[in-house]
Amino acid sequence: PATSSTVTLTVNGEKHTVAVDHRTTLLDALRERLGLTGTKKGCDQGQCGACTVLADGRRTVSCLQLAVAAEGQEVTTIEGVADGDRLHPVQQAFLDLDGYQCGYCTPGQICSAVAVIEEHAAGWPSAATGDVRPDAGAPELTAEEIGERMSGNLCRCGAYASIVQAVAAAARTPGTEAE
């Protein structure tokens, strides 16, 4: 049986057609085939969040997704979060508030935060039921909510306090959820 396939991946709005072994993860395809090394490999087991990208707007740990399964999805990596030379408000907030130390977890934290802010704006629909949570429309994204919603993104430097501050600040930036 065939062990590789040609897939077309749509990443940051560009289509890339590559032949990949069926076992290739989206993470390895991004880094090693497309040269998009902003997405980091930490654990390669779905536990650290360093490899978080957005797939059709949803947070995805790219080390647990096969590249062949990403065909047809709109993948956004840290390289595609900014609008040209204009940083995304989440990126700007991480810079302004020192939301990192070594920076290794940062691309995943930022991708995750972009989606968290959009989820909050949408009223945290439950993944299981689609029901909108009772706190829908709450004006403030609290530190507790951010901690809970980003608990899949680990930071070995322990920069959590400033990460949470940066995400909260970005959430207060007008228009962030529409980016």
**Interface positions with ligand FES (CB under 6 A):** 41-44, 46-51, 61, 63, 100-106, 155-157, 159
Shortest distance in whole angstroms from residue 158 CB to ligand FES = 8
Shortest distance in whole angstroms from residue 93 CB to ligand FES = 15
SS3 160: helix
Shortest distance in whole angstroms from residue 143 CB to ligand FES = 17
Per residue in 120-148, is it b (16+ CB within 10 Å) or e — as a string?
Answer: beeebeeeeeeeeeeeeeeeebeeebbee
Termini Cα distance of the chain: 43
Please report the DSSP string for 101-129 in residue order: SS-TTHHHHHHHHHHHHHHHHTT---TTT
Shortest distance in whole angstroms from residue 9 CB to ligand FES = 17
Which is nearer to ligand FES, 94 or 124 (by Cβ)?
94
Which is nearer to ligand FES, 125 or 147 (by Cβ)?
147
One-letter amino acid for residue 25 of the chain: T
